[in-house]
Amino acid sequence: MSVDLRSAFFYSRKDIFKNIKIFIIITLSIILATANIIVINGLIDGMIEDLVDNTVESSVGHLNIYPDNNERFIEGIGIKEQRLATLKEVEAYSPRISATGVLSNKELSVSSTILALDPDKERKTTKLLEKLVRGAAVNPNDKNAILVSSRLAEDLKLDVGDEATLAFENGIIKVYNVKGIIRTGNLDFDSSTVIMPMDEAYRQLAIDNMASIILVKLSDKSMSEIYKPMIMQNLDVNNIRTWEEETEFVSNFANSWRSISSIISGVGLIAAAISVGIVIYINIIHKKRQIGIMKAIGTSNAFIFTVFLMEAAIFGVIGVFIGDSVGYLAIKYFEANPFLDAISQTWISARFEPQLFYIATIFSFGVTILAGVYPAIKASRVEIIKAIWGT
Amino acid sequence: MEIIKTSNLKKSYMLGNVEVKALNGVDTSIEQGEFVAIMGPSGCGKSTFLNLTGMLDTPTSGEIYLEGKDVTNMNSNMRAEYRLKYMGFVFQFFNLFNELTVMENVMFPMMLNKRSNYKERAKELLNLVGLGDRLNHLPSELSGGQQQRVTIARSLANDPKILLADEPTGNLDTASSIEIIELFRKLNQEQGQTIVMVTHSPEIGGMTDRIIHFRDGTIEH
């Protein structure tokens, strides 16, 4: 005896909508669980992408050329820059020098990282110099001007226009004027960095035509793995890291957040499933006699099972559809209205990926159906005589 | 023509460790078109007999024949299909589907049976039981007598050959009870419906063609 789906749907629909308050509560729990999956994951995806973008834009290039192992500097950067300039995939590049020093203001002193760069090349390669919070950027020819990172400036009570003493690693000490305060959102960078023009660093460190790193900006950052061997060959260098490798720490951080979001989504789904299951189960207990009558007039066990599973499916279809829509609208809102992360001082927005939609739909609907299986089995096994006579 | 026949029908239940014999070898025969009352004291097996002949329950032993066919060992799906197509039930407690309107309650068995003109047929049946003006009411908006009439209309939905009624007037006042029995009589006479009705009331029983008396799980001769 086949199950007449039309009749099953007819009865399920009538049964579900007989109590509109219960219907709204159940549907709401599915809506929230579904939207929760989309919003939480969309926000985390957005946060991770923004973090990566921010890190890549301010601290690393798409490809970063390092000195060979056991070497401190890349030598002969003039020729390397010329070769980079001939590669059409390379949009810009910026050599940097890294050194250590101690920055002091009166009796306060803090160990610092000296970052020397060519402001013009840096502007074409990263957005580091756009992260000024006060003052102005250094010029290539500045001999007495430095930029101080925000936390370092706070620790040394420095501000724009103040004088600070910088002791280089080779023992040279020089007084500089603080031209600007910079904040990137990277805690390490912001707590200890002094930025100065490349030529001034060359003078004080008594070196030339060298760099600690060359940042390379590509026309398409997704092609970094492909261009890496080509640049290694062209520049005769062995130590290049892509932006993905440089931001690996963000991926680890992202995985932790994704685990947390899975737990949050899972809890939401379980809560929705329990409420759907309980409501259908209680409904079945309350209408045991009616189920008995339904069987007495000629419905099969399979029909009863289908009726109550269909109720779960109707809850699922309506709840998931609205939940998907609410989740989508929320993500679009956060995309259009990013919020400022107080810790990293970066703007964070959400991202909508179609697979979020599929995941939310499949999981929410699947869990809702599963929640209906046990009550539906219980209903189908109701014994007619016991049900009708309430024994 | 014999439409219901039972042979040495027995049914026993376990009540804890004690075996209770609800039916203890019932042999009976009901002709097509008969209006029969089953009577007897409480616990004599009347309802058990009705449940077994209505294929709502299975006997411990013995045989049941409907239209000459042995239906004793039919599986649950076949029994459900048989009930849907050939039987109608009226119970003491009106047992309507509360979420469905009067019309939908009557339509529902026809939808299950995949009949095409179920709306017209439902209206026709509700007119027959005098509720043509209550089609869109919910059961909770009707009196007990009216609800029982809806149940009767529903039991007739698929033109069953056998109508089984278990104390259909048990919860009704005298006027409503007489109305229901007159309706049964009308169906029996005009449509040739075979009706088997359990009742406690000698007055109601007296309005049928024949009374079968039960006592202690057997037929009293």
Asked if B108 lies within 8 A of A384 by C-beta distance, the reply is no
pLDDT of residue B101: 95
What is the CA B95 to chain-centroid distance, rounded? 13
d(CA B109, nearest CA chain A) in Å: 7
Distance from CA of B98 to the nearest CA of A (A): 9
Q: What is the DSSP string of A8-51?
A: HHHHHHHHHTTSHHHHHHHHHHHHHHHHHHHHHHHHHHHHHHHH
The count of structural domains within chain A is: 2
Q: Identify whether A60 is part of a domain.
A: no
Let me know whether A100 and A153 are in one domain.
yes
Confidence of residue A343 (pLDDT cuts 50, 70, 90): low
Same-domain status, A125 and A187 = yes
Asked whether the beta carbons of A196 and A138 are under 8 A apart, the reply is yes
Return the domain boundaries, chain B. 2-213
Report whether pLDDT(B140) > 70.
Answer: yes
A306 min Cα distance to partner chain B (Å)? 13
Give the nearest partner residue to B99 out of A15, A299, A302, using CB atoms: A15
**Which string of DSSP letters, residue by residue, matches B133-161?**
T-TT--GGGS-HHHHHHHHHHHHTTT--S
Same domain for A196 and A228, yes or no, is yes
How much is the mean pLDDT over chain A? Answer: 89
Neighboring chain A residues of B114 at a CB cutoff of 8 Å: 4
By Cβ distance, the residue of A15, A289, A300 closest to B80 is: A300
Q: Is residue A51 part of a domain?
A: yes
Q: Could you tell me the residue range of the domain that residue A325 belongs to?
A: 5-55+249-389
Chain B within 8 Å of A225 (Cβ-Cβ)?
no
Do residue A206 and residue A186 come from a single domain?
A: yes
- A83 and A161 fall within a common domain: yes
Say yes or no for a CB contact (<8 Å) between A7 and B108.
yes
Please indicate whether residue A245 or residue A156 has the higher confidence score (pLDDT): A156
From residue B213, alpha-carbon distances to A253, B54, B165, B198, B200 in Å are 83, 18, 16, 10, 11
Task: Kindly state whether residues A79 and A208 are assigned to the same domain.
Answer: yes
Decide if A290 and B95 are in contact by the 8 Å CB cutoff: yes
Per-residue model confidence (pLDDT) at position B94: 64
* More confident call, A166 vs A249: A166
Count of CB pairs separated by less than 8 Å, A with B: 78
Tell whether A345 and A304 lie within a shared domain.
Answer: yes
- Convert the pLDDT of each residue in A321-333 to its tens digit: 999 999 999 999 9
Of A32-41, A214-223, A256-265, which gets the smallest average pLDDT? A256-265
Do A271 and A227 lie in a common domain? no
Contacts A10 to B, Cβ<8 Å: 108, 111
pLDDT in tens, B63-78: 999 999 999 989 989 9
Q: Are residues A327 and A381 in the same domain?
A: yes
Task: Convert the pLDDT of each residue in B162-221 to its tens digit.
Answer: 999 998 888 778 887 888 888 889 888 888 889 999 998 888 899 899 999 999 989 987
Instruction: List the single residue in A4, A15, A289 with the smallest CB-CB distance to B112.
Output: A4
Mark which of A208, A238, A268 sits at the end of a domain: A238
A155 and A214 inside one domain: yes
Question: A258 pLDDT exceeds 90?
Answer: no
HSE at residue A174, side-chain half, CA atoms within 13 A, is: 18
Q: Is residue A61 part of a domain?
A: no
Write out chain A residues lying below 8 Å of B57, CB-based.
384-385
Interatomic CA distance for residues A79 and A88, integer angstroms = 17
- Among chain B, residues having any CB pair with chain A shorter than 8 Å are 51, 54, 56-57, 76-78, 80-85, 87, 89, 91, 93, 95, 97-100, 104, 108-109, 111-114, 154-155, 158
Set of chain B residues whose Cβ sits within 8 Å of the Cβ of A297: 83-84, 89, 108-109, 112, 154-155
Each residue's pLDDT tens digit, B21-32 = 999 999 999 999
Give per-residue pLDDT as tens, A106-156: 989 999 999 999 999 999 999 899 889 999 999 999 999 999 999 999 999
Q: Cα dihedral angle (A223, A224, A226, A230), rounded to 10 degrees? A: 130
Cβ-defined contact of A293 to B113 (cutoff 8 Å): no
The verdict on A18 and A120 lying in the same domain is: no
Name the CATH architecture for the domain at B2-213: 3-Layer(aba) Sandwich (3.40)
**A269 plus A175 within the same structural domain:** no
